[in-house]
């Protein structure tokens, strides 16, 4: 049965776009707060500029024109408009290229990123692992096909890519799966279910094989992990029955994305994974990552993110699974892989890579930094126009039409300058200028 229309991926994306359009950046909120007080001062100054010269004997028309001109040129319209157009234009451009940024606040946060951390399965890899080995352990009375039937049935309710791989392998071999009962899943540890009168548990060796137990299983796990595989253990009625090995392909462009992020942030990305250290090291060697933290449960990923933040880093975490959701919520900026990502991960993330293209991550960070530079430039332009026109009006004789033209012209210039990021060249420039020094 399909999902209700309101729960589809498209519906969630539409909702996220609406939320992004309704949010205001921190800079914008600060400007609006200052603008409220500034407006009070401006009105008071306008009244004084009208009343004082009039009281000193200046004619009514001259006093009124000077006060009106001052009120127009001192109005902070351009200042208020300086922030949101660049950020919203950057959000729109990123969206056209497969990165959904949920708010203007997130776009500002992306500009501050100094350290990137990756999950492994479904992030640096394609998230479509395949079962490469299924080996029954000595002393098991059931055949490998019977064990695979039980394993696949237990994994049938799992959302994890490894579980889907086991189920897919069984169906490829024409195995009909019995219906499991009492299914349960613990993020980072594995699944358990009752199938055909047996208690089936499938999960990480660290969780299912306590120290000093499972000698043959441990030896087989070590052999498979040395080959770069992800190994999981199957327990049947509490006893080790089989070891499963799975392999996933690295995403195209993953190594290039790591290199570009290193150049952009001046810090090498970190790998945070629940997978075994051998498989993690095998993948890291292909991508150029040297800081590897493996065998992590969801809470350990949160601790790793906090550790990086305590070292002064502004961390962007990229992940896809339920296991990553707590760490995504903890990170300075959480980025989810939209195609393979779990629902909870998409909700917890601040941005979503809708096309699962890792090379868009460094590009959107570079785009966010350019948007920030445009905000600063816009504020400088607006302030310069106000200062020059106000000084001209107070110290000289600024004609009202020229004051109106200067005020409206500054507003138009600031708006158009921010909208430059809507051009397709803005994304290409962000993609091509990743070696620039961080502002």
The answer to whether 111 and 368 are in contact (CB under 8 A) is yes
Q: Are 40 and 122 in contact (CB under 8 A)?
A: no
Question: Cβ atoms within 10 A of the Cβ of 13, count?
Answer: 16
Which pair of structure tokens corresponds to residue 56?
């000193």
Per the DSSP assignment, residues forming a β-bridge with 131 are 246
Q: From the candidates 59, 112, 119, 248, which is the catalytic residue?
A: 119
How far apart are alpha carbons 303 and 184 in whole angstroms? 25
- Take residue 212 and report the two structure tokens written for it: 């000093």
Q: State yes or no: is 307 an active-site residue.
A: no
CA distance 308 to 361: 19
Question: Among candidates 301, 92, 381, 131, which has minimal Cα distance to 232?
Answer: 131
What whole-number distance in Å separates Cα of residue 232 and Cα of residue 229? 10
> E strand or H helix at 334, and its extent?
strand 333-337
Helix (H) or strand (E) holding 236: strand 230-236
Task: Name the nearest CA neighbour of 123 among 339, 364, 360, 337.
Answer: 337
Q: CA-CA distance, 358 to 63, in Å (whole number)? A: 62
* Spatial CB neighbours of 37, under 8 Å, sequence gap ≥ 6: none
From first CA to last CA, the distance across the chain in angstroms is 51
Number of Cβ atoms within 10 Å of the Cβ of 65? 18
336, β-bridge pairs? 319, 352
Helix (H, G, I), strand (E, B) or coil at 213: coil
Using CA atoms, how far apart are residues 168 and 182, in angstroms rounded to an integer?
21
Return the closest-CA partner of residue 50 out of 38, 41, 60.
Answer: 60
Paired sense of beta strands 190-195 and 181-186, if any = antiparallel
Residue with tokens 């009106």: 68
Please list the active-site residues: 119
């Amino acid at each position: 049965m399909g999902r209700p229309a309101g729960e589809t991926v498209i519906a969630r994306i539409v909702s996220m776009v609406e939320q992004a359009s309704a949010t205001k950046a921190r800079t914008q909120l600060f400007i609006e707060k200052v603008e409220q007080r500034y407006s009070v001062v401006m009105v008071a100054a306008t009244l004084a500029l009208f009343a004082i010269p009039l009281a000193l004997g200046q004619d009514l028309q001259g006093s009124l024109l000077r006060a009106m001109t001052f009120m127009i040129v001192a109005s902070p319209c351009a200042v208020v408009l300086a922030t949101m157009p660049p950020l919203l234009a950057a959000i729109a451009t990123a969206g056209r290229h497969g990165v959904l940024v949920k708010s203007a606040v997130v776009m500002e946060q992306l500009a501050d990123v100094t350290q990137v951390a990756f999950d492994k399965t479904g992030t640096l890899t394609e998230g479509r692992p395949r079962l490469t080995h299924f080996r029954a352990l000595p002393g098991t009375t059931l055949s490998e096909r019977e064990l695979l039937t039980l394993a696949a049935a237990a994994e049938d309710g799992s959302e994890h890519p490894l579980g889907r791989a086991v189920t897919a392998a069984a169906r490829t071999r024409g195995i009909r799966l019995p219906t499991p009962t009492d299914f349960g899943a613990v993020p980072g540890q594995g699944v358990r279910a009752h199938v055909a009168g047996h208690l089936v548990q499938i999960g990480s060796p660290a969780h299912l094989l306590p120290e000093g137990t499972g000698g043959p299983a441990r030896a087989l796990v070590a052999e498979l992990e040395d080959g770069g595989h992800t190994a999981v253990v199957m327990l049947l009625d509490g006893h080790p029955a089989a070891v499963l090995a799975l392999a996933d392909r690295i995403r195209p462009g993953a190594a290039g994305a790591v290199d570009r992020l290193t150049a952009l942030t001046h810090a090498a990305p970190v790998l945070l994974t629940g997978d075994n250290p051998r498989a993690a090291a095998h993948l890291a060697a292909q991508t150029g990552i040297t800081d590897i933290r493996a065998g992590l449960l969801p809470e350990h990923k949160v601790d790793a993110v906090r550790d990086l933040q305590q070292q002064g880093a502004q961390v962007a975490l990229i992940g896809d699974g339920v296991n990553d959701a707590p760490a995504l919520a903890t990170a300075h900026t959480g980025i989810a892989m939209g195609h393979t990502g779990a629902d909870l991960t998409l909700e917890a993330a601040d941005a979503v890579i809708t096309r699962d293209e890792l090379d868009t991550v460094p590009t959107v960070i570079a785009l966010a930094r350019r948007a920030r530079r445009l905000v600063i430039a816009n504020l400088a332009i607006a302030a310069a126009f106000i200062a020059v026109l106000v000084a001209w009006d107070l110290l000289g004789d600024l004609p009202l039409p020229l004051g109106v033209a200067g005020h409206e012209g500054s507003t138009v210039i600031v708006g158009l300058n921010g909208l430059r990021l809507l051009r397709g060249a803005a994304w290409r420039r962000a993609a091509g200028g990743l070696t620039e020094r961080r502002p």
